[in-house]
């Protein structure tokens, strides 16, 4: 069995910066994994996702996703990756309806300048129905609650029909009930669609029950990679969040 995502000795440096944000990262994500990435603020968690998705070019090492190099085959890789961004908010005046936002998920598969056809709209409708938000189909996105917006964004990701989910703090600014609902949907999606999922989370109580690995990141380096119970009880984990 080959890894779905493989990073070997990866350094990622933001343009204009001298120091690498990711430093010598080695990581393998296997088919069917649901991996949570934890670490203190500034650890490089979002950078890790952006590097995997080919948004940020790496300076050293190698990154392959589905056996494709993300530097040379980025567009092909991203057609099969659903990427849910962190804290995406919409002002009340946003001129998009829910259906407009969900259909945007198809553009990564069909191309930005192609008009979606009936197949694409059917995928968007199925995603809305799956997330139980089809009743919001014609509502302005800026009029929804935070929990509803997160469901729309997850539906947009789902409409792409990805093989891999990358999620950056999908529970940001949600109350307990909304967090439970989104977490349940993510786990259900992961199981029923045979996905490989990598998510950045901030709170320990946000670790979904289907998580089988925790990757601990600090100062751009992976300090540990283990099953949740083992990782959370380790001294390495406690030290990662302590001062200094």
Half-sphere exposure of 165 (CA within 13 A, CB side): 32
Domains in the chain, number: 2
**CATH number of the domain encompassing residue 178:** 3.40.50.300
Q: Which of residues 111, 146, 162 is at a domain's end?
A: 162
Both 186 and 138 in one domain: the answer is no
What is the token pair recorded at 67?
């056996």
What is the token pair recorded at 219?
């100062």
Report which DSSP code applies to 206. G
Q: Answer whether residue 32 shows pLDDT above 80.
A: yes
Both 182 and 147 in one domain: the answer is no
Domain span at residue 119 reads 89-162
Both 46 and 97 in one domain: the answer is no
Give me the phi and psi of 134, to 5 degrees please: -65, -25
What is the token pair recorded at 158?
């789902």
What is the token pair recorded at 223?
């300090």
Q: How far apart are CA 55 and CA 98, in angstroms?
A: 26
Report strand pairing: 34-38 vs 196-200: parallel
User: How do residues 65-89 score in pLDDT, each as one tens digit?
Assistant: 999 999 899 889 999 999 998 767 7
> Which residues make Cβ contacts (< 8 Å) with residue 48, sequence separation at least 6?
22, 25, 27, 37, 200, 217
In sequence order, what are the beta bridge partners of 132? none
Q: Answer whether residue 244 shows pLDDT above 70.
A: no
Both 158 and 177 in one domain: the answer is no
User: How do residues 140-199 score in pLDDT, each as one tens digit?
Assistant: 999 998 889 989 999 999 999 999 999 999 988 788 888 898 899 999 999 999 999 999
Q: Please give the helix or strand (H or E) that residue 167 lies within, else none.
A: strand 164-168
Both 168 and 237 in one domain: the answer is yes
Q: How far apart are CA 154 and CA 43, in angstroms?
A: 25
- pTM over cut 0.75: yes
Both 31 and 146 in one domain: the answer is no
């Amino acid at each position: 069995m080959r890894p779905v995502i493989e990073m070997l000795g990866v350094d990622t440096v933001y343009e204009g910066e001298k120091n690498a944000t990711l430093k010598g990262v080695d990581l393998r994500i296997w088919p069917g994994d649901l991996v949570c990435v934890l670490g203190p603020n500034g650890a490089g968690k979002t950078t890790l996702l952006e590097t995997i998705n080919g948004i940020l070019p790496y300076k050293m090492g190698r990154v392959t996703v589905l056996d494709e190099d993300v530097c040379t085959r980025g567009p092909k890789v991203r057609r099969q990756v659903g990427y849910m961004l962190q804290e995406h908010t919409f002002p009340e005046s946003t001129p998009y309806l829910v259906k407009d936002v969900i259909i945007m998920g198809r553009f990564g598969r069909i191309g930005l300048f192609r008009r979606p056809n009936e197949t694409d709209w059917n995928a968007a409708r199925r995603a809305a129905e799956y997330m139980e938000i089809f009743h919001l189909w014609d509502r302005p996105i800026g009029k929804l609650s935070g929990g509803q917006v997160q469901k729309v964004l997850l539906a947009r990701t789902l409409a792409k029909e990805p093989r891999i989910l990358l999620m950056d703090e999908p529970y940001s600014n949600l109350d307990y009930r909304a967090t439970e609902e989104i977490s349940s949907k993510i786990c259900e999606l992961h199981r029923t669609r045979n996905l490989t999922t990598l998510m950045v989370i901030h709170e320990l109580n946000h670790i979904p029950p289907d998580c089988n690995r925790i990757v601990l990141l600090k100062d751009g380096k992976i300090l540990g990679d283990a099953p949740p119970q083992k990782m959370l009880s380790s001294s390495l984990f406690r030290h990662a969040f302590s001062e200094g």
